Amino acid sequence: MPELRVIEVAREMREASRELARAGRSVGFVPTLGALHEGHLSLVRRARAENDAVVASIYVNPTQFGEGEDFERYPRSLEKDLDLLRGEDADIAFCPANAEMYPPNHSTFVEVGYLSNKLCGLSRPGHFRGVATVCAKLFHLVRPTRAYFGRKDAQQALLLRRMVRDLLLDLEIVVCPIVREADGLAISSRNANLSPEERAQATCLSCALEAAREALAAGETDAMQLIEIMAQRVISEPAAELDYAAIVDPEDLEDVREVDRECLAALAVWFGSTRLIDNATLGRAEKG
Amino acid sequence: MPELRVIEVAREMREASRELARAGRSVGFVPTLGALHEGHLSLVRRARAENDAVVASIYVNPTQFGEGEDFERYPRSLEKDLDLLRGEDADIAFCPANAEMYPPNHSTFVEVGYLSNKLCGLSRPGHFRGVATVCAKLFHLVRPTRAYFGRKDAQQALLLRRMVRDLLLDLEIVVCPIVREADGLAISSRNANLSPEERAQATCLSCALEAAREALAAGETDAMQLIEIMAQRVISEPAAELDYAAIVDPEDLEDVREVDRECLAALAVWFGSTRLIDNATLGRAEKG
């Protein structure tokens, strides 16, 4: 098995990035909260295929969790994560402590603006500010050529692309397909927090998206009707509580009235204290 | 005279930075609003002495000017600026248009937090947000090893050091001494906007700082008394209108009661629609 270098100190990560830059090597970067699963590993494989060096970060970033959210109980499995990264031939695992990422009295945040106040941003105030800020920091330390994100977090990917464009960061955001369990559930670290009953009912997200797709194929293009179809499918499961169901423009996330072009259907659903999200493209053949 | 490369396009600046990084050359960066004067040139000389390559930017950044401020009438003298940079053996002048720095529908800003709401931040809401944001963008494009700023803008330098530390940017902020005219007036591009009468009276800023210094040397350590001495000296000039006079901690810019250690005395004064600032260290021998 190839050697995985585990770095815990920001200064050391910076020095490693400088060496990679001096050597002219392209760097593929996969930022994660750890609790790695097949979704993350698909990103690492893509990074491995497209770059000279692969860096993954494992860091449960406190500033993207709101008060009362699941920061404390977010799944953590560092040793297993490192083994998985070794299995994918990653070069560096960057696993910083909080003090490395947030110096004492830190006060600087990156605000990406209006996309932050839509969909998940409404349910999770401050979440995207935390995501943008920690990604800016990680990008500064790792200096990736390309950074890989999953399309399950579609809003996050859009927001980070906007940040990279607006702040003139020298990297490409690569967005990769959602990886699903055999029954359709989008793979997520938070799935581990579901009870067996909740896990069985959690397929309602992907089923709701599929129902919207089928209704569209049958000729229903009214967004409100399609949203209602998704909502009904979700709440047909007794443990599911709908946070939002939306059909929006895939670039600016504004609500649409009519699915007469490519749109994004997005869902967030509570199962007890676990919040799951999923999304799908409507109005064209699914890519990837 | 050596060749100065003039770059107007962000993409081209990025490519030049990549080449410098690949060549392992250190980069000294002097960001300016143009209208270059001896203060700027002292920064360019320092950058030249300490780095393999020197980049200066000339860009009047709209987001750091508030409504009703002097964005439109800020002095501009591009051809003369380029000649001055040639005279100092700078390698690259980066002179972007607004569309290069702010893409359509840009929405991302860097907020450095509490230092933004003190001293000049109170008089110029949004100013430091604009400064931090444009500097982050310029740092991303230019990738400097060191960036040089004048101590006349002491708050700006502190704020950018905080930003670099908090966002884990890989560069050093170097702060250089204030350059003054023979009569003590701190050199500033805005001095060009003063009428002859205002220009004559504008020495009241440096005289007020000197008066505070002398009073301290004579045993007055009460900050309120020293501020009063500065204020009286400023308003003794009929064209001068005091914006603020303050004595603060040199790191967190909090007001101090007693000058029993190193402090920063800072002034902002209006002459008509022109606002001048100056500052000095109190409580130890002046450095540089």
Show the 3-state SS of B62-92.
Answer: HHHCCCCCCCCCCCCCHHHHHHHHHHCCCCE
Mean pLDDT of B110-116: 87
Please report the pLDDT score of residue A288 as a whole number: 39
Task: Look up the CATH architecture of domain B5-176.
Answer: 3-Layer(aba) Sandwich (3.40)
pLDDT at A12 over 90: yes
Predicted structure pTM score: 0.95
Distance from CA of B40 to the nearest CA of A (A): 25
Please report the pLDDT score of residue A140 as a whole number: 98
Please list every residue in chain A whose beta carbon sits closer than 8 Å to the beta carbon of residue B130: none
Please report the pLDDT score of residue B115 as a whole number: 82
pLDDT class of B285 with cuts at 50, 70, 90: low
Please report the pLDDT score of residue A285 as a whole number: 54
Of A107, A112, A136, the CB nearest to B114: A107
Decide if A191 contacts A183 (C-beta within 8 A). no
Report the mean per-residue pLDDT for chain B: 95
Q: Which of B32, B30, B39 is nearest to B64 (CA)?
A: B32
A159 vs B114, more confident: A159
Answer whether B25 touches A (CB < 8 Å).
no
Give the separation between CA A207 and CA A185, rounded to whole angstroms.
9
Please report the pLDDT score of residue A284 as a whole number: 73
Q: CB-based contacts of B68: which residues, under 8 Å, 6+ apart?
A: none
Cα A185–chain centre separation? 15
Strands (E) in chain A, as ranges, are 5-7, 27-32, 53-58, 92-94, 109-111, 146-150, 172-176, 240-248, 263-271, 274-282
Give the separation between CA B159 and CA B173, rounded to whole angstroms.
10
Catalytic residue IDs of B: 40
Q: CB-based contacts of A278: which residues, under 8 Å, 6+ apart?
A: A152, A178, A186, A205, A206, A209, A266, A267
- Say if the Cβ atoms of B140 and A168 lie within 8 Å: yes
Q: pLDDT digit string (tens) for B167-180?
A: 999 999 999 999 99
Please list every residue in chain A whose beta carbon sits closer than 8 Å to the beta carbon of residue B109: 110-111, 113
Answer whether B171 touches A (CB < 8 Å).
no
- Residue count of chain B: 288
Q: Which of A255, A247, A250 is nearest to A229 (CA)?
A: A247
Give the C-alpha distances (Å, rounded to integers) separating B190 from A183, B54, B193, B271. 68, 25, 5, 11
pLDDT at A31 over 60: yes
Distance from CA of B84 to the nearest CA of A (A): 28
Residue ranges of chain B assigned to CATH 3.30.1300.10 = 189-282
Mean pLDDT of A18-33: 95
Comparing A91-100, A143-152, B115-124, the range with the smallest average pLDDT is B115-124
Give the separation between CA B74 and CA B54, rounded to whole angstroms.
25
Q: pLDDT digit string (tens) for A173-221?
A: 999 999 999 999 999 999 999 999 999 999 999 999 999 999 999 999 9
Give the C-alpha distances (Å, rounded to integers) separating A38 from A51, A199, A205, A225, B174. 20, 17, 19, 34, 46
pLDDT class of B117 with cuts at 50, 70, 90: confident
pLDDT class of A2 with cuts at 50, 70, 90: low
- Say if the Cβ atoms of A107 and B162 lie within 8 Å: yes
Count of beta carbons in the 10 Å neighbourhood of residue A122: 14
Burial-class residue A238 by CB neighbours within 10 Å (0-12, 13-18, 19+). Answer: exposed
| String of DSSP letters for A118-185 | STHHHHSTTHHHHHHHHHHHHHHHH--SEEEEEGGGHHHHHHHHHHHHHTT-S-EEEEEPPPB-TTSP
Please report the pLDDT score of residue A117 as a whole number: 83
| String of DSSP letters for B14-36 | HHHHHHHHHTT--EEEEEE-S--
What is the strand order of the sheet B240-248 is part of?
B240-248, B263-271, B274-282
Count of alpha carbons within 13 Å of A238, Cβ hemisphere only?
1
Q: pLDDT digit string (tens) for B126-156?
A: 999 999 999 999 999 999 999 999 999 999 9
Q: pLDDT digit string (tens) for A237-260?
A: 999 999 999 999 999 999 999 999
Share of residues in chain B with pLDDT > 90 (%): 92
Minimal Cα distance from A136: which residue of B? B167
- Say if the Cβ atoms of A112 and B110 lie within 8 Å: no
Please report the pLDDT score of residue B27 as a whole number: 98
- Cα angle B288-B43-B158, degrees, rounded to a multiple of 5: 70
pLDDT at B185 over 60: yes
Q: CB-based contacts of B58: which residues, under 8 Å, 6+ apart?
A: B32, B33, B34, B36, B78, B81, B93, B94, B95
Count of alpha carbons within 13 Å of A286, Cβ hemisphere only?
13
Task: Look up the CATH architecture of domain B189-282.
Answer: 2-Layer Sandwich (3.30)
Minimal Cα distance from B133: which residue of A? A167
Give me the residues paired with residue B58 across strands.
B32
Q: pLDDT digit string (tens) for B203-214?
A: 999 999 999 999
Mean pLDDT of A45-68: 97
Residue ranges of chain A assigned to CATH 3.40.50.620 = 5-176
Decide if A242 contacts A234 (C-beta within 8 A). yes
Give me the residues paired with residue B278 across strands.
B267
Of A10, A141, A162, the CB nearest to B108: A162
Question: Strands B146-150 and B27-32: what pairing?
Answer: parallel
Please list every residue in chain A whose beta carbon sits closer than 8 Å to the beta carbon of residue B10: 168
Please report the pLDDT score of residue B287 as a whole number: 45
Please list every residue in chain A whose beta carbon sits closer than 8 Å to the beta carbon of residue B143: 170
Catalytic residue IDs of A: 40
Minimal Cα distance from B159: which residue of A? A108
Distance from CA of A225 to the nearest CA of B (A): 31
Cα A192–chain centre separation? 16
pLDDT at B1 over 80: no
Give the separation between CA B254 and CA B249, rounded to whole angstroms.
5
Mean pLDDT of A63-75: 92
